[in-house]
Chain A
Amino acid sequence: MTSSVKNEPENNWFKQIYNHFIDGANKLTLAIEDITNIFITSKYNPFYYHGALPQFYLWVLFISGLLLFAYYIPTIDNAYLSNKLVNAWTSVDYITNTLPFGGVVRGIHRYAGDAMVLFIFLHAIRVWFTDRYRQYRWIQWVTGVILLLMVLFIGQTGYYLVWDERSLLLTRMTVSALDALPLIGGPLKTWFLNGDTITNLTLSNFLFIHIGLSFALLFVLWLHYVRMTRPVLTPPPAVNFILVGAILLIVFLIPISSGTMANLNSQPNAYDIDWFFLFNYWLMAHMPMNVFWISMTAAAVIATILPWFVKTISAPVIPAEVVIDKCTGCSLCYRDCPYQAIEMVPAPAGSRFKLLATVNIPRCSSCGICVGACAFDAIDLPQLPDASVLTEIKSFAGAK
C-alpha cells in the first residue's frame, strides 16, 4: 500500500551492486549510531549533528582567525631588501613565540581547519549513506560540494600566508598548475599572483582571498540551509566543549612552528604535507599536470551530479495536494513542513478564510508531515490518502 524502497527486480547490474553497497553502508552507519546511543542517548549523539559539527568549527576558525589577523602582516620583504625585517614570516613568528597564547591560537586555527575538513567529509559520507542528498535535497548537496571546494581553497591560502619555504613552494606549484590550463591559465595566474611575479601584492591578495572567501562561505551556507525549516546549526554545548577540547589537546601534542623564512632566490623542493588541505599538491607532484586537472575536474563534476548520476530504486516523489475546499488557512502545515515546500497565499475570492496553503511541487518530499499537521483533512498524499488509512485502522481495530 505504501511506496516501499525496493519494489522491482532490477536488471541493471551496476544499480544492483550499488544499491547493495548503499544498503550495507546504511546499516553499518545505523549500527554504529545505535551503539553510541546506548552510552550518551540520542540527545548528545554527535552523529545526529553531523552537519552542525563543521559549522561549529567554522565559528572557531572565525574567532581564532580574527585574533591572528590582528597581528599578521602580509608582506614578503626579506634580508635582501631591508635590515629590520617586518614581514609575514616575522609577524607569524611574533604571534607564535612572543604573544601570550599566540602559538596556541595559531594551533587552534590550523587544527580547527583540519577538523572542519574531516567533519565535512564525514558529513557528506553520512548524507550519502543515509540517502539524503537526492531529489528535493539537491540544492543542499550541490552547495555542499561548492562549500567543500571553497573550504579546501581557503585552507590552502592559509598555508601560503605563513610565507616560509613551504609557502613559496606551494605558491610556485600553484602557478605551474594554473599555467597548464588552456585559455584561462594566463589570466588566472596573473590574478593569483596579483601581477606577473611574487611581490607584496601577492601576499595581500592571498590574505584577501583567505578572509574574503571565508565570509563568502556564509552566503553559500545560507543557500545550503535555505530549503530546510529550522536547520540544526549547532550541536548541544556539551558536544561543543568536546569539539574544542579535542583541538586543544592536539595543539598541546603537536605544537606548530614555521619552516625557514621564504627566500625568492631559493628553490625549496620538499615540505611537510597536511593531508587535509594539501593532498592535491601531492597529486600534482606525482602525475602530469593535465592528468591532475582532468581528474580533479572529473571528481568535482561527479560529486556535484551525484544526485542525478545514480537513480536508485525508489518511487518517484508524488507531491502532496491541498484540498482547496477544506483548507482553513491555519498555516500548521506551512509551519511543520521540513523543506519549505508549503506557502500560504491569499485565499481565493469568496472564501471564508484569509489564507490558502499551496504546495511548491519541486520542494515536496512526499513525507506527509503536512497531513499529520492538518486537523481539517485538507491536504493529502495522493498515493496514501488519510481516508484510506483511517478505513484500514478502523477495520482492523474492530476486527476481533
Chain B
Amino acid sequence: MAEKKTVITLVCERAADLNDLLDSQGNITDMSDVHVVKFPCSGMIQPLMIEAALKAGASGVIVCGCQIGDCYYREGNKMIKERLLGERPPGLKKTVDRRRVIALWLSRMQKQRFISEAKEFVYRMQALDIAEAAVPKTEPTKAAPPSP
C-alpha cells in the first residue's frame, strides 16, 4: 500500500561526484527513487526548497555539500549547515519534520560514502513512511486511557 516515494538530493557540483551515477532524468541509476538536483554551491540551497520538496510528497531530502572547511566558494556549506540547524536566517519552518532531512559534507572523491549514506537514508525514510501510514491520523499518537 505504501507507494514508493522519492528522496530529493540537493547536491553541490563540487561535492561528491555523482555524475557517473545519474541517468538522463537526473535519478541515480540503481536507486531510481533518488533524484539529484545540482547547484554550483550548497550555500545556494534555500530552506524553502527543502520545505517544498517535503510538501510535494518527497520522502526525505539529502543535502550534500563539500567538506566543512573546504567549500569551493569558502563558506557555502557552513551557511546551509547553520541554516538547517537554526543558527542562521533563513531557517527551516517549525512544521518541517526534521527526521526527514539529512546533510552530508563530502569531498569530490567520496562517492561511495554518499551512496552508502543515501541507501541507509532511503531505507530509514521508507520505514518512517510505513510507520506513519500505519497510524490513522484522526487518533492521538499516544493512546491514553480515557479518563472516567
Measured CB to CB, the residues of A under 8 A from B are 1-5, 26-27, 30-31, 33-34, 37, 42-43, 45, 47-49, 130-132, 228-230, 332, 336, 338-339, 365-369, 371-375, 381, 384, 386, 389-390, 392-394, 396-400
CA distance in complex: A87, B14 (Å): 58
The answer to whether A398 and B40 have CB atoms under 8 Å apart is no
**Residue of B37, B52, B70, B74 ringed by the most chain A CB atoms within 10 A:** B74
Q: In chain B, what residue has the closest Cβ to A376?
A: B90
CA distance in complex: A367, B78 (Å): 14
The answer to whether B69 and A43 have CB atoms under 8 Å apart is yes
The answer to whether B43 and A368 have CB atoms under 8 Å apart is yes
CB-CB under 8 A from A339, the residues of chain B are 73-74
Is there a chain A Cβ closer than 8 Å to B1's Cβ? no
The answer to whether B67 and A393 have CB atoms under 8 Å apart is no
Contact count band on B: 35 or more
The answer to whether B75 and A381 have CB atoms under 8 Å apart is no
CA distance in complex: A37, B70 (Å): 12
Given contacts A2-B40, A332-B89, A368-B44, are A393 and B69 in contact (CB under 8 A)? no
The answer to whether B38 and A1 have CB atoms under 8 Å apart is yes
Contact with A along B1-42 (1 / 0, CB 8 A): 001111010100100000100000011000001010111110
CA distance in complex: A2, B41 (Å): 11
CA distance in complex: A131, B4 (Å): 41
The answer to whether B5 and A381 have CB atoms under 8 Å apart is no
The answer to whether B52 and A367 have CB atoms under 8 Å apart is no
User: Smallest distance from the beta carbon of A237 to chain B beta carbons, Å?
Assistant: 16
Is there a chain A Cβ closer than 8 Å to B45's Cβ? yes
Given contacts A30-B107, A42-B68, A42-B70, 4 further A-B contacts (CB under 8 A): A2-B13, A368-B43, A372-B76, A381-B44
Pick from A43, A365, A389: contact of B37, CB under 8 Å? A389
CA distance in complex: A394, B54 (Å): 9
Given contacts A369-B75, A398-B57, are A375 and B39 in contact (CB under 8 A)? no
